[in-house]
Amino acid sequence: MTLKESTASLSGNLTPPLHENPAFAWKDQPVPRQGVIVTDLDGTFLDRTTYSPAASLPMLRKALADGQIVVFCSSKTPSEQKHLQQTLGIKIPFICENGSAIYLPREDFPELEKEIEKDSDWLVIKLGAGFPEIDSVLENFEETYTTDLGRMSQKPIKNLASLTGLSEPAALRARSRLFSETLTAPLEENTKAQLETFLRLQGLKFECGGRFHTVTSLETDKGKAYKHLKALLQTIRGDLLSIGLGDSENDLRLLESVDFPVLVAKEDGTHEPVELEPLHRNKKPGPHGWSATIGAWLHAMA
């Protein structure tokens, strides 16, 4: 069995399989490239309902053991992502709050320590506005249009836990935003249009995630954050080859920024209406699809 045939067999979870991506031609090159896995969390690496990583964790550990760079890329806050990593017993780079900042473990990137802001044992690259600025703009919008956006920062912890299905400590971590705000209220189309115009005039925007809306700086997104990180990584790790995984429209910019973009299926087996060429669609839902895809990726990179 040839390499392409073997990879095609393992890629049966993907349409089209990995070997049909033009970027697969790297296998014909004599110089190895560092593999990078950039992944969304909720609904992708984590189960959307239970937030459990049980189905994906074994393959994550294998990827790290194989020398892959793994980057979490999510709307989650730094507090949430640090806690998740502590729970999993790992410490890896992460992009938080929809591309608003990049966090790097200090011990893994000593070359960058002199030029990047430090936060305890993390290096922090801020790419967007701070929360106080964003919160002030949203408060002004609510007063101007006499509407309630359901700002997460204003939700009592008990209410937020009930709304999200999170425990109260987890809800507190989710509410601890540094560079963005999450809107939990369902927004009618006319409110969305008013809000989009209002935010844009203030250098801000909102994006739809799997359940809520996230407000960030106008010039930030997951894709731009990964490109910034990629430029840094290439200076110290050489040429990179990346696979990105996400499950919603909010992940489009991330998927556009990688060599192998993968759209993970929802629980019912369908996909969000994300249009991108090329795009690999995952047949299995959530973390089960994530694990199957990364298995095929590691085989192809071997």
**Residue 189 falls within a domain, yes or no?**
yes
Shared domain check, 103 and 40? yes
CATH of the domain at 167: 3.30.980.20
State percent of the chain over pLDDT 90: 75
pLDDT tens for residues 29-87?
Answer: 877 789 999 999 999 999 988 889 999 999 999 999 999 999 999 989 999 999 999 99
**Residue 98 falls within a domain, yes or no?**
yes
The sign of the dihedral angle between the CA atoms of 85, 86, 87, 88 is positive
Asked if residues 179 and 216 have their Cβ atoms less than 8 Å apart, the reply is: yes
State the amino acid at position 143 in one-letter form: E
**Residue 257 falls within a domain, yes or no?**
yes
pLDDT for residue 3 is more than 60: no
CATH of the domain at 42: 3.40.50.1000
Q: What is the pLDDT of residue 85?
A: 97
Shared domain check, 233 and 121? yes
Shared domain check, 205 and 247? no
Tokens 């407000």 found at: 215
Among residues 184, 217, 250, the one where a domain terminates is 217
Residue-range definition of the domain harbouring residue 106 = 34-127+221-301
**Residue 138 falls within a domain, yes or no?**
yes
Strand order in the sheet with 117-119: 14-15, 280-285, 260-265, 240-246, 34-39, 69-73, 94-96, 101-105, 122-126, 117-119
**Residue 24 falls within a domain, yes or no?**
no
Among residues 217, 238, 258, the one where a domain terminates is 217
Could you tell me the pTM of the whole model? 0.91
Cα distance between residue 37 and residue 102, in whole Å: 15
Cα distance between residue 54 and residue 218, in whole Å: 35
Please state the domain count of the chain: 2
pLDDT tens for residues 75-107?
Answer: 899 999 999 999 999 999 999 999 999 999 999
Q: Is 33 helix (H, G, I), strand (E, B) or coil?
A: coil
Identify the residue with better confidence: 11 or 245. Answer: 245
pLDDT tens for residues 141-159?
Answer: 999 999 999 999 999 999 9
